[in-house]
Amino acid sequence: MKSLLQVENLQVSYPTQDGRVFALAGVDFTLHAGETVGLVGESGCGKSTLGKAVMRLIPTTGGRIILGERDITQLGRKALLPHRAAMQMMFQDPNGSLNPRQSVGKSIGRPLEVAGWKAAAIRQRVGELLEQVGLPAAAAARYPHEFSGGQRQRIGIARALILEPQVIICDEPVSALDVSVRAQVINLMRDIQQRTGVAYLFISHDLSVVEYIADRLLVMYLGRIVESGPTRQIWDRPAHPYTFALLAAAPVADPRAPRNENALSGELPSPINPPSGCPFHTRCPHAQARCRAERPALRGNPGQRQVACHFPLFELGARELSPLAL
Ligand SMILES: Nc1ncnc2c1ncn2[C@@H]1O[C@H](COP(=O)(O)OP(=O)(O)O)[C@@H](O)[C@H]1O
Ligand code: SF4
Ligand SMILES: [Mg+2]
């Protein structure tokens, strides 16, 4: 598979009155054409920061972002423009990209207007896109407040698709929606992916949301990836104690199945002063002396499974690393 987006040792820190917030402490991942990678972790672990940094919306303090063949980490505004079209973003609240005083057709078509398209061609393209996301072409003349949350998120998808991007960074795109509407929007996103081959980095604090859409998962804790691998494998058999706790705390489809709300005890430590050694040791039921002294490296095969833990729940052995076992 062709690698579309490659992120290497990406770091972001925010200067604040209380000190530097190390929001991303060196993140690596690859996104291939047509696939969905889920990025999960508790609120405050750095997911949105990663999305914004990859989009070059905030400054990075280290590492590289490679889009296609091009290193875009240091590109200035102008040089970045042709690459901007290839990567788009979707948010939890699509109102961020929709002007309340503009018809949705105008908001969706704006990037084409900037690119110098004629009004009639824009109208046609916007109408086609609205139909693709399950809305009538005539919806273009209406205003954002006239739509429900689910419909607005469909408009958000149309807005993200207008420049035919290769990658869409989706930051909690269904978290504000009712469960039934959520499934519809996720199914629509999958359909669009099958039709267009777009790749998604799908960010969610809720593991049960990404289970259905992500081919692979990245589990993040305090600005670092602590586990990665095929979704099914991680879901069935997490190796990192943090992933295990997240899964145990996640809402389950079957309401009769046991759910352990206390699986994840204690608060997320401050990224201004992260714990020594393994950043999860302050909350980990398996922590030992070594965990407080030495930070575990992410080990395993980046294309398959990886884990950053001195004492994982099982050792990533030959079986887990073999594509035959998928
Ligand atoms: N603009 C900012 N200035 C200072 N700290 C920030 C800023 N944005 C995010 N943070 C901090 O960075 C950390 C990661 O935040 P964020 O990326 O929003 O996490 P998530 O999306 O996983 O909830 C948090 O501790 C948050 O408080
Ligand atoms: S390294 Fe130690 S503290 Fe960290 S997750 Fe593994 S067992 Fe827990
Ligand atoms: Mg966020």
Q: Which residue has a Cα nearest atom 1 of ligand 2?
A: 309
Pocket of ligand 1 (CB under 6 A): 14, 16, 21, 23, 41, 43-49, 271
Considering only CA atoms, which of 86, 94, 56 is closest in space to residue 161?
86
**Amino acid, res. 251:** P
Q: CATH number of the domain at 3-86+165-325, out of 2.40.50.140, 3.40.50.10710, 3.30.1320.10, 3.40.50.300?
A: 3.40.50.300
Query: Model confidence at 321, in pLDDT bands (50, 70, 90)?
Result: very low
Considering only CA atoms, which of 170, 34, 162 is closest in space to residue 93?
170
Q: For residue 222, give the ligand nearest its CA.
A: 1
**Distance separating alpha carbons of residues 201 and 40, to the nearest angstrom:** 10
Pocket of ligand 2 (CB under 6 A): 241, 278, 280-281, 284, 286-287, 291, 296, 309-311
How, if at all, do strands 199-204 and 216-221 pair? unpaired
Q: For residue 271, give the ligand nearest its CA.
A: 1
What angle, rounded to 10 degrees, do the helices at 119-132 and 104-114 form?
A: 120
Say what the pLDDT of residue 322 is: 45
**Distance separating alpha carbons of residues 39 and 111, to the nearest angstrom:** 28
Least confident segment among 46-50, 55-59, 85-89, 265-269: 265-269
**Domain range summary for the chain, segments of one domain joined by +:** 3-86+165-325, 97-164
Q: What is the pLDDT of residues 125-164, one digit of tens each?
A: 999 999 999 999 999 999 999 999 999 999 999 999 999 9
Is pLDDT above 60 for 254?
Answer: no
What token pair was written down for 179?
Answer: 């469960």
Residue 319 burial (CB count, 10 A): 9
Query: Which residues have C-beta under 5 Å from ligand 3, the single-atom ion?
Result: 47-48
Long-range contacts of 74-80 (CB under 8 A, 24+ apart): 80/56
**Distance separating alpha carbons of residues 262 and 218, to the nearest angstrom:** 23
Q: Which helix (H) or strand (E) holds 221?
A: strand 216-221
Q: For residue 295, give the ligand nearest its CA.
A: 2
**Distance separating alpha carbons of residues 253 and 44, to the nearest angstrom:** 25
DSSP-derived 3-state class of residue 217: strand
**Distance separating alpha carbons of residues 245 and 280, to the nearest angstrom:** 11
Closest approach atom of ligand 1 to CA 50: 17
Is pLDDT above 80 for 297?
Answer: yes
**Distance separating alpha carbons of residues 155 and 103, to the nearest angstrom:** 11
